[in-house]
A and B are shown apart, each in its own frame.
Chain A
Amino acid sequence: MNCDEFKESMHSVMDGRAGEAEGGFDQHARECDACSRAYQNMRLISKTMHDRGLYYAAPDRVRERAMKLGRASALPARRTWQTWHLFAAAASVAIVLTASWAIWRSSTSSDDLVAHDVVASHIRSLMANHQTDVLSSDRHTVKPWFAGKLPFSPRVDDFSAQNFKLIGGRLDYIADAPVAALVYQRRQHTINVFTWPARESAAPVRALNRRGYNVLHWSAAGMEYWAVSELAANELEELKQLIEERDKSVIGN
């Protein structure tokens, strides 16, 4: 790899679309000081952009106006519709509903219901601003908190060093059973990781997108995991790998 190729590949590597070991990228970084510096500088700029200090969260005045809009009857435009418009709309909605119900019936499985539950729970936790029952980044506080409340003991770890900060834990109820929800944060995004003892032997890894949220489901070391967030799918995958590595070391001991 020469310098031009390196500079071209740099962005794919930074954005997680190519590995550092691919095509001699890391080898060139070791051999060429200038390229290595450029790469490290880019990474520092990128890392600083993740800084919460640069993020403009919606201020309360904007949030209040938006929520007001969300309450029914805030949109008068619809009422001026002609009756036949409504009939047409109602008819097409009926057709779509019937069709989707048929599709839903034929495709739905317990997994889909769980996916629905975890996404709904994630949204509720964001909207009600009730993300945690126990607020702590210390796993030695979060883990014992679950002790008397669940029939199992979830494994809890903080991954702050990898930019997944443990915010706390919460009790939740998914698919008719109490489960542990571990709450992580990356940049301004919340990630809910739901976990409970696996009911079947190893489920295959599944990545879904539901209502705009990414969902990742896997099972490892006898536990089932469902991670939900508006984070990009590859970032959820990162968290999954951290949890899996942790699980491996638990079993290894």
Chain B
Amino acid sequence: MAFQQDDHERFNTAVLPHLDAAYNLARWLAKNEHDADDIVQEACVRALRFIGGFTGENTRAWFLCIVRNIFFDMRRRRGFESPADFDDITRSVPSDELGPEALLLRELDTRALREAIEELPDEFREAIVLREMEGLQYEQIAEVAGVPLGTVMSRLARARARLQQRLVPREGAHRA
């Protein structure tokens, strides 16, 4: 069956090269290996099944979208509704959030950064991982996450503001 053969061929050449990107996203979203393994395996099964009907150009965004949907389905099934309240995700960044009192950070420990990223609400973590680790443009992140461009920008801004808040020592903090 040539039709089937073609799906496997497309899966091998267009989807498999993005396995690292898929795993990285799944692992950051799920925050544990076991779930990340399951999510990626399920994503591969779905990608193989649906690639025949995929006509877009950007297979990576398409595959990452499958990955994130499986994670958010899993989260819903397990009853963890969005840990970030609605306001958190939709509001734009308040200008005072960065605080003029932030000191200059000279070096940054990867472990501290990892912990800070893990503490972000899932939607923020998704945006920042796709932007900083995968180098995706705002438009592609919007495509993956299925939200408008403005939401992507506000999630990124708020994710960064939180990381800074968490990681940067504040002037006067040592006096308190």
Q: What per-residue 1/0 map shows which CB atoms of A1-35 lie under 8 Å from chain B?
A: 00110011001000101000000000000000011
Interface residue count on the B side (C-beta < 8 Å): 68
- Interface of chain B residues 1 through 41 with chain A (CB within 8 A): 1, 3-5, 7-8, 11-14, 16-24, 27-28, 33, 36-37, 40-41
Contacts A41-B105, A69-B48, A72-B8 hold; do A123 and B19 have CB atoms under 8 A apart? Answer: no
Question: At the interface, yes or no: B156 with Cβ under 8 Å from chain A?
Answer: yes
Q: How far is B12's CA from A74's CA once the two chains are assembled, in angstroms?
A: 13
Question: At the interface, yes or no: A38 with Cβ under 8 Å from chain B?
Answer: yes
Q: What per-residue 1/0 map shows which CB atoms of B147-176 lie under 8 Å from chain A?
A: 000000100110010011001100000000
Question: At the interface, yes or no: A98 with Cβ under 8 Å from chain B?
Answer: no
CB distance from A39 to the nearest CB of B (A): 10
Considering only CB atoms, which chain B residue lies closest to A96 in the complex?
A: B55
Q: Classify the secondary structure of A's interface with B.
A: helix
Q: How far is B40's CA from A49's CA once the two chains are assembled, in angstroms?
A: 22
Binds A, one of B71-79, B82-90, B132-140: B132-140
Considering only CB atoms, which chain B residue lies closest to A71 in the complex?
A: B8
Q: How far is B19's CA from A155's CA once the two chains are assembled, in angstroms?
A: 32
Of B44, B117, B138, the residue contacting A66 (CB under 8 A) is B44
CB distance from A67 to the nearest CB of B (A): 7
Query: Is the CB–CB distance between A212 and B20 below 8 Å?
Result: no
Interface residue count on the A side (C-beta < 8 Å): 63
Of A4, A17, A65, A187, the residue contacting B95 (CB under 8 A) is A4
Question: At the interface, yes or no: A250 with Cβ under 8 Å from chain B?
Answer: no
Query: Is the CB–CB distance between B58 and A209 below 8 Å?
Result: yes
- Interface of chain B residues 109 through 129 with chain A (CB within 8 A): 110, 113-114, 117, 128
Query: Is the CB–CB distance between A212 and B40 below 8 Å?
Result: no
Q: Classify the secondary structure of B's interface with A.
A: helix
Q: What per-residue 1/0 map shows which CB atoms of A210-239 lie under 8 Å from chain B?
A: 111000000000000000001111110000
Query: Is the CB–CB distance between B108 and A40 below 8 Å?
Result: no
CB contacts (< 8 Å) of B18 on chain A: these are: 212, 230
Query: Is the CB–CB distance between B110 and A72 below 8 Å?
Result: no
Query: Is the CB–CB distance between A41 and B164 below 8 Å?
Result: yes
Query: Is the CB–CB distance between A51 and B110 below 8 Å?
Result: yes
Contacts A57-B20, A63-B19, A212-B58 hold; do A38 and B98 have CB atoms under 8 A apart? Answer: yes
Considering only CB atoms, which chain A residue lies closest to B27 in the complex?
A: A56
Q: How far is B137's CA from A127's CA once the two chains are assembled, in angstroms?
A: 25
Query: Is the CB–CB distance between B12 and A127 below 8 Å?
Result: yes
Question: At the interface, yes or no: A126 with Cβ under 8 Å from chain B?
Answer: yes
Q: How far is B36's CA from A51's CA once the two chains are assembled, in angstroms?
A: 20
Considering only CB atoms, which chain B residue lies closest to A212 in the complex?
A: B59
CB distance from A164 to the nearest CB of B (A): 12
Query: Is the CB–CB distance between A72 and B137 below 8 Å?
Result: no
Considering only CB atoms, which chain A residue lies closest to B12 in the complex?
A: A70
Of A37, A45, A59, A77, the residue contacting B163 (CB under 8 A) is A45
Between-chain CB contacts (< 8 Å), 19 pairs: A7-B95, A11-B153, A11-B160, A41-B102, A48-B113, A49-B133, A54-B110, A56-B24, A59-B37, A67-B16, A70-B8, A70-B48, A72-B5, A78-B7, A123-B17, A127-B16, A212-B57, A212-B58, A235-B135
The interface of chain B, by Cβ under 8 A from chain A, is 1, 3-5, 7-8, 11-14, 16-24, 27-28, 33, 36-37, 40-41, 44-45, 48-49, 57-62, 93, 95, 98, 100-105, 107-108, 110, 113-114, 117, 128, 131-133, 135-138, 140, 153, 156-157, 160, 163-164, 167-168
Q: Which 5 A-B pairs have the closest CB atoms?
A: A212-B59, A34-B100, A58-B23, A49-B132, A56-B27
8 further interface pairs, Cβ-Cβ under 8 Å (given A41-B102, A57-B23, A232-B140): A38-B164, A41-B105, A44-B108, A55-B24, A58-B22, A187-B133, A209-B58, A232-B136
